[in-house]
């Protein structure tokens, strides 16, 4: 999105045309990021709506220290992670039930991502299940780099970390994914 101060000024004034322009130019980015994090089309649509509601409500407080798209990535990530927490709590009956459930994050769910061909669905399901096992910072960095195609410096700005810190997260994510996926790929080698 070609960001400029005029658009931001119009957005802060509450101009509907400016808001429509931002939504039109960023909707695919917001939706894809949400989808890559939650792996459910319907949930990603809900998160996308929430992101734009938050943008509309909070744009007055946006200082412009970063690009508007960077701010939208941050909002999207925060909403996707909060959404997952709420869904997990609701699904598993809160804290009491979690005491008896072990390893609830390891279930294999067929990915609901339109970019994945039918031939690759099984492999993608294992990959996304492995990505879900990553510690949150690694999962977010890996998702932004590998699935959203962002550069390391862009991820560093979004996550407010150094580029070296992002490189480290990505390296650890890849190491962990190799370990998680080893068992799956062993069946093809044996």
| Same-domain pairing of 95 and 148 | no
pLDDT of residue 63: 84
Last residue of a domain, one of 51, 74, 100: 100
Do 20 and 135 meet the contact criterion of CB atoms below 8 Å apart? Answer: no
Tokens of 40: 């459910």
Q: Is the pLDDT of residue 88 over 70?
A: yes
pLDDT per residue over 112-156, tens digit each?
A: 555 555 456 777 788 888 999 999 999 999 999 999 999 999 999
Last residue of a domain, one of 100, 132, 152: 100
Q: How confident is the model at residue 89 (pLDDT cuts 50, 70, 90)?
A: confident
| Same-domain pairing of 130 and 184 | yes
**Using CA atoms, how far apart are residues 174 and 176, in angstroms rounded to an integer?**
5
Range of the domain at 186: 102-190
Among 52, 110, 111, 43, which Cα is nearest to 80's?
43
| Same-domain pairing of 158 and 72 | no
Structurally, the chain folds into a number of domains equal to: 2
Last residue of a domain, one of 60, 79, 100: 100
């Amino acid at each position: 999105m070609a960001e400029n101060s005029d658009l931001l000024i119009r957005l802060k004034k509450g101009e509907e045309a400016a808001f429509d322009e931002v939504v039109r130019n960023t909707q695919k980015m917001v939706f894809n990021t949400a989808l890559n994090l939650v792996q459910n089309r319907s949930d990603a649509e809900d998160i996308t709506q929430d992101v734009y509601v938050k943008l509309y409500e909070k744009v007055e407080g946006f200082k412009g220290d970063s690009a508007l798209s960077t701010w939208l990535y941050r909002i999207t990530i925060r909403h996707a992670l909060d959404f997952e927490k709420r869904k997990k709590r609701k699904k598993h009956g809160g804290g009491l039930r979690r005491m008896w459930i072990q390893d609830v994050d390891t279930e294999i769910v067929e990915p609901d991502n339109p970019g994945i061909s039918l031939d690759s669905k099984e492999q993608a399901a294992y990959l996304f299940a492995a990505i879900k096992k990553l510690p949150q910072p690694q999962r977010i960095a890996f998702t932004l780099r590998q699935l959203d195609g962002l550069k390391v410096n862009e991820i560093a700005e979004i996550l407010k970390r150094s580029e070296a810190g992002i490189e480290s997260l990505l390296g650890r994510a890849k190491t962990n994914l190799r370990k998680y996926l080893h068992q799956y790929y062993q069946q093809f080698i044996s």
